[in-house]
Amino acid sequence: MEEEKKYKILVVDDEDDLCEILKFNLETEGYQVTTANSAEDALKLDIASFDLLLLDVMMGGMSGFAMAKQLKANPSTASVPIIFLTARDTENDTVTGFNLGADDYISKPFSLREVLVRVRAVLRRTSEHQGSEPAVLRYQGLEMNLDKKTVSIDGADVPFTKTEFELLHLLLEEKGRVFSRQELIDKVWPKDVLVLDRTVDVNITRLRKKIGRFAKCIVTRLGFGYYFDA
């Protein structure tokens, strides 16, 4: 892992022993770790200051899904990456997690090595698009600030999940190029997570809704994939 920055991770799980195990192992890897035993306690913290959330789905009070929904609706926390930790591993639950903007989804019981690999992958993807890129991408009234990770439509800020932001960034940066679903999966999602074609479609549908009058610019080329038609 890169040592230039000490990443801050928040672990939210109602199993205190699990929180302590994750905290110990993540801190051993060089991360700065805070734990909370409920979504309610976590929401009292400055969520926007964290680089990643490890969030349990099934908790006694507010669920992880409910907490994630609240965070993604707030522009100040919408871009904070989330990895769900859960004993529920059905396809519907996985799609629900990604539909809420999750960056990854790990089923319990899991190995600590698996968690560390996925944490590194998400954090690497979070920071990989910095440096030589232009700070802003624009198309008419649609504007993406690549440094602040924000999107505005006709001057109004719109909250985006990280996955939605990455999809729009890719399509807008290479306008007119058709991306297959597999290309989008390879470029936007971590290499070590299984993503269904349907998950891509769900995210594209959600992206279209968020960009309002520009929705028609994201075109489906049947049998091939998606592209941004300028």
Q: What are phi and psi of 64, to 5 degrees?
A: -65, -40
Domain count of the chain?
2
- What's 123's domain CATH number? 3.40.50.2300
Q: Which structure tokens are listed for 199?
A: 């998950």
Residues 24 and 119 in one domain: yes
Residues 93 and 44 in one domain: yes
Range of the domain at 105: 8-127
In a domain, 2, yes or no: no
Residues 97 and 140 in one domain: no
Describe the strand order of the beta sheet including 156-158 as a list of residue ranges: 136-139, 142-145, 150-153, 156-158
Chain center to CA of 74: 14
Each residue of 182-215: pLDDT tens digit?
999 988 887 777 888 889 999 999 999 999 999 9
CB under 8 A, 24+ apart: contacts of 204-210:
204/167, 206/99, 206/164, 207/164, 207/167, 207/168, 210/151, 210/158, 210/160, 210/164
In a domain, 161, yes or no: yes
| pLDDT score at 43 | 94
Please identify, among 75, 105, 127, the residue that sits at the C-terminal boundary of a domain: 127
Is it the case that residue 16 has pLDDT exceeding 60? yes
Please identify, among 100, 127, 154, the residue that sits at the C-terminal boundary of a domain: 127
Each residue of 17-27: pLDDT tens digit?
999 999 999 99
| pLDDT score at 72 | 86
Cα angle: 182, vertex 136, 48; to 5 degrees? 80
Residues 116 and 18 in one domain: yes
In a domain, 1, yes or no: no
Residues 118 and 33 in one domain: yes
Residues 65 and 166 in one domain: no
Q: Tell me the average pLDDT of the chain.
A: 86
Q: How far is it, in rounded angstroms, from Cα 174 to Cα 223?
A: 19
Q: Could you give the residue ranges of the DSSP H alpha helices within the chain?
A: 16-28, 39-42, 64-72, 91-99, 112-127, 162-173, 181-188, 197-210
**b or e along 119-139 (b: 16 or more beta carbons within 10 Å of the residue's beta carbon)?**
bbbbbebbeebeeeeeeebee
Q: What are phi and psi of 3, to 5 degrees?
A: -100, 5
Is it the case that residue 128 has pLDDT exceeding 70? no
In a domain, 153, yes or no: yes
pTM over 0.75: no
In percent, how much of the chain has pLDDT > 70? 89
Is it the case that residue 92 has pLDDT exceeding 90? no
Is it the case that residue 145 has pLDDT exceeding 80? yes
In a domain, 104, yes or no: yes
| pLDDT score at 106 | 85
**Contact of 203 with 72, CB cutoff 8 Å:** no
Contacts of 49 (CB under 8 A, 6+ apart): 8
Please identify, among 103, 127, 151, the residue that sits at the C-terminal boundary of a domain: 127
- What's 190's domain CATH number? 1.10.10.10
